[in-house]
A and B are shown apart, each in its own frame.
Chain A
């Protein structure tokens, strides 16, 4: 295909799209891609018209293979919103992408029904088909970006949901560590624990790892650093909630917690903490205060 004929095809296609605009929009608006968004018929028709407008512009500009083409960029926001609506209705990406391919057949059928010189039919069909394929790429791309935004938001929420420092007794703090500890979360946990030690003058801090699914060398390193920092401040750290398989893994990995006290359960660690403070729990003698 020479440049001249390419330009000719572009002109013919542009003319074709202008002539059949109404019919294409009507057929598209009735197609699954625009129907399953949950919008009413008018909205579907206006969305379809906007998408067709974008497609028209990229074909005129000869950019039907370029996802960053100006016409595609203009409808990115709309496509992202449509994809999000599909997602919200429980229709996942691959199905949505298949449905956008369904926009191809009305175009190609009308193109073939048009009485055109035989030499133009195939190249024109290739361009139309390519444009819809690129449209699909743009759709997936914008849907993916929307997904990335969601992930970033959730990561932020996860950090906010980070571990609270609990006062168990005068001078005894506990921090229940939950979930996988990445470096950012462990830093936040360490800082809030040390600050609480300073604020409440706590002599013993319990790091409870019952909710930590796995302890690797990095998590162990973090626990050790927290314990050392607490010791420099004049407090002591106890680790509790070491499950049998975690104890196993830690030994296999050669993790040495040094002099750090460890206990199997939080209750044991609390008892140890009380003993470090010179306190002990004793049963109340019978008949004195059981009924309070």
Chain B
């Protein structure tokens, strides 16, 4: 599970985080993702964390850093499918992921990247 699969869908890259997020896989992702964004000329990246049930500041930082890299390449990052327990834990840890965009599901995330209504921005504080 060292590498996270990156799937391209219609100008959007979908990254599915499976199980526990390891240092090695995050490093690999952060190396590969910018290359893929440029290669595909992607306008958005969806990071699906719907199967992640263990969360810590490392995950929060990985998400934040990845989103920042993608933003430098003029693409948007949307984190989708965060579980309730993960969300509560992040808030309790004070990690509210400022500026990161979120969506309930991959479908909602795609709609968000297409610029449909109903998008939600994470709290900026």
Binding between chains A and B:
yes
What residues of chain A have their CB less than 8 Å away from a CB belonging to chain B? 190-191, 194-195, 197-198, 201-203, 225, 227-236, 258-259, 276-278
Closest CB-CB distance, B77 to chain A, in whole Å? 13
Number of A-B residue pairs at CB separation under 8 A: 84
Interface of A is mostly: helix
> Once the chains bind, are B123 and A231 in contact (CB under 8 Å)?
yes
Q: Contacts of B102 on A, CB cut-off 8 Å?
A: 231-234
Q: Contacts of B91 on A, CB cut-off 8 Å?
A: 225, 228-229, 232
Give Cα A202 to B104, complex, Å: 8
Q: Is B9 an interface residue (CB 8 A)?
A: no
Contact of B84 among A195, A236, A277 (CB under 8 A): A195
Q: Contacts of A201 on B, CB cut-off 8 Å?
A: 104-105, 108
Q: Contacts of B125 on A, CB cut-off 8 Å?
A: 258-259
What residues of chain B have their CB less than 8 Å away from a CB belonging to chain A? 79-84, 86-88, 90-92, 96-97, 102-105, 108-109, 116-118, 120-125
> Once the chains bind, are B92 and A234 in contact (CB under 8 Å)?
no
> Once the chains bind, are B88 and A190 in contact (CB under 8 Å)?
yes
> Once the chains bind, are A231 and B88 in contact (CB under 8 Å)?
no
**Minimal Cβ-Cβ distance residue in B for A201:** B104
Closest CB-CB distance, A61 to chain B, in whole Å? 55
Give Cα A233 to B100, complex, Å: 11
Q: Contacts of A278 on B, CB cut-off 8 Å?
A: 116-118
> Once the chains bind, are B120 and A235 in contact (CB under 8 Å)?
yes
